[in-house]
Amino acid sequence: MPNYLFAYRRGAEGPGAGDGPEAMARWQAWIGRHSGSMVDPGTPLGPSRMVRPDGVAVESELDCLTGFSIVRADDLDSALAMAGSCPFLEMGTIEVAEIKQMQRASGA
């Protein structure tokens, strides 16, 4: 069964309905409902910078990456259904991608 990355992006609207103790309770309930699928239930991220090919770091103010989860699901549709019920959607978006395993060089 593959693992999927849920990348949480806060939208341009900033803090709102998804903040506070009620939001944390909804988050914890969502994690509880999917506890059998959670590899990493959630890791928040601090401020980020975008690095371009020219080496210029740009502060990402809008649509910034705020955290991620790793879940196990049968397929992409199952992972999308799980993400679709996530309370983070009250304040932003979730990008879902399958985590592919890389071939390791022999002797590594």
Q: What is the pLDDT along the chain (108 residues), one digit of tens a residue?
A: 999 999 999 865 555 555 688 988 999 999 999 999 999 998 998 877 778 888 877 766 666 888 999 999 999 999 999 999 999 998 899 999 999 988 887 765
Structural domains in the chain plus CATH codes: 3-98 (3.30.70.1060)
- Say how far apart CA 96 and CA 42 lie, in whole Å: 14
Q: Residue with structure tokens 């990348």?
A: 7
CB proximity list for 51: less than 8 A, separation 6 or greater: 57
